[in-house]
Amino acid sequence: MSGRAAKTDESYVAGAVTDPDERVDAELVAAAVKGSDAAMDRLLRRHESAVLRLVRLLGVAPPDREDVAQEIFVRVFRHLGTFKQGRSFRGWLYRITVNAVHDHRHRLSRRARREAPWNETLDDTPDVSAAPADHAVALERRRELGAALSGLSARERAVFVLVEIEGLERREAARSLGITSITVRRHLSRARASLRAILAGSEKKTPGG
Amino acid sequence: MFFGLFGKDERALPHGKQALDEALGAWREAEAVLPAERLSSGARANIRALARQRASVASDRPLTGLFVPLGRLVAAAGVPALLLAVSFGWFIGGGAADFQGSEASGLSVVSIDARKVNGLAVFDIANGGRIHSVYRGSSAAGLAEADLFTKTQGSFTDTLDGGSGVTYYRID
């Protein structure tokens, strides 16, 4: 996946962003706040893939994903002025994404739209046919994990996705979600335990698979 | 230790642990070969257009957090407790603290209600219960120590002699 490698804590010490990607983001944010359309466009293109991936991982149904991503970026650009320089833009973006998906879920619940279930499995994305044939096993495993994610609560899922799949440090995930590292650890432990149980169960059902 | 804390013992599922690690490895492998997801050009155009529009109240309300902001909840829960404590303090202290604060700021909040009831002059002083000296005399000017009538902590009553003269009171 295009998820990033785990980052050291030093990148997030006291507002001093040392990560080159974060520095580029900070410069683009500063330019976009001053009204640069080019900077806004670069920010959008740099992060649209990650946002769409996260929206998918958090369980938004395929027909709604682009709408949710659109809502996220509109909010991001409207509130760029409130972004605190020195903080992780990616972390801020992830927080908006998680909360926007949560809002989307609530809207669906209110409308009781049965045609777009919340716990969407991930066996439908993205364009699996484009993958080389020798990755068929990996794709099957990926589908299984995606299905297993549907068995997690929204909070467990958000923490697991950010830490285990997106590769965020626990501390970074905690900042993104506005919770403590202890809460992250607790949800992560529960998520892992649930996923292990689900995957172990599916292995028993399909021995050798 | 963690078993009791988290309720589920991950060590009890060695096969599940292996399955999860394998699934995560396979996930990363699969994601690496799949094309990156992209927004449509129409969606990008919408984002640019909407981002420039003035935020409307309906569409731009704050997002609901997935995680409950516990710290803010605790702080919010503390507000009623604080109000109760302040009210209780006011009740116990007879409002003296507030009065002194106002006095310190140079403002006077003393008010006097004077009325005649059944041949009595009744004065109520809303002064936070502080002691005041009341002087009485037949002339408005020159009420001196010799004219000290009483000291009061909120109200006092004087018997009027029924004559036609005017009685003056000075309250310090």
> Which residue in the set B30, B40, B67 is minimally distant from A142, CB to CB?
B30
> Which residue in the set B27, B28, B34 is minimally distant from A131, CB to CB?
B34
Token pair for residue B11? 């060590």
Q: What is the CATH number of the domain that holds A43?
A: 1.10.1740.10
What residues of A are in contact with residue B8 (Cβ under 8 Å)?
189-190, 193-194, 197
Measured between CA atoms, the residue of chain A closest to residue B5 is A186
Token pair for residue B19? 């399955």
Residue A49 has pLDDT above 60, yes or no: yes
> Which residue in the set B15, B37, B43 is minimally distant from A200, CB to CB?
B15
Residue A119 has pLDDT above 80, yes or no: no
- Average the pLDDT over A96-114 and give the result: 82
Q: CB A178 to CB B48 under 8 A?
A: no
Whether the pTM exceeds 0.95: the reply is no
Q: CB A3 to CB B31 under 8 A?
A: yes
Instruction: Evaluate whether ipTM surpasses 0.90.
Output: no
DSSP A163: I
The interface residues of chain B toward chain A in range 5-64, judged by CB-CB distance below 8 A, are 6-10, 13, 15-17, 19-20, 22-40, 43-44, 46-48, 50-51, 55, 60, 63-64
CA–CA dist B95, B101 (Å, integer): 10
Measured between CA atoms, the residue of chain B closest to residue A76 is B51
**Would A2 be classed as within a structural domain?**
no
Measured between CA atoms, the residue of chain B closest to residue A209 is B19
Helix and strand element counts for chain B (H, E): 5, 6
- List pLDDT tens digits, range A51-103: 999 999 999 999 999 999 999 999 999 888 888 888 889 989 999 999 999 99
- Average the pLDDT over A173-194 and give the result: 91
List Cβ neighbours of A34 (8 Å cut-off, separation of 6 or more): none
Q: CB A77 to CB B51 under 8 A?
A: yes
Task: Please count the structural domains in chain A.
Answer: 1
**CA-to-CA separations, B94 to B29, B86, B90, B97, in angstroms, rounded:** 73, 12, 6, 8
Q: What is the mean pLDDT of chain A?
A: 80
Domain of A102? 9-126+133-205
- Average the pLDDT over A178-201 and give the result: 90
What residues of B are in contact with residue A126 (Cβ under 8 Å)?
34-35, 37
- List pLDDT tens digits, range A2-16: 444 434 333 444 345
Where is pLDDT greater, at B162 or A107? Answer: A107
**HSE (side-chain half, CA atoms, 13 Å) at A179:** 23
* Mean pLDDT for back-to-back runs of 10 residues, chain B (172 residues): 41 61 83 85 90 58 65 73 76 52 51 78 76 79 74 78 72 80
Contact B154, B146 (CB under 8 A): no
CA–CA dist B38, B16 (Å, integer): 34
Q: How confident is the model at residue A170 (pLDDT cuts 50, 70, 90)?
A: very high
Q: Is B87 on the interface with A (CB under 8 A)?
A: no
pLDDT score of B93: 61
DSSP-based three-state secondary structure for A2: coil
Token pair for residue A126? 């993205």
Q: CB A200 to CB B19 under 8 A?
A: yes
Domain ranges of chain B: 70-108, 110-171
**Would A169 be classed as within a structural domain?**
yes
Q: How many CB pairs under 8 A join A and B?
A: 168
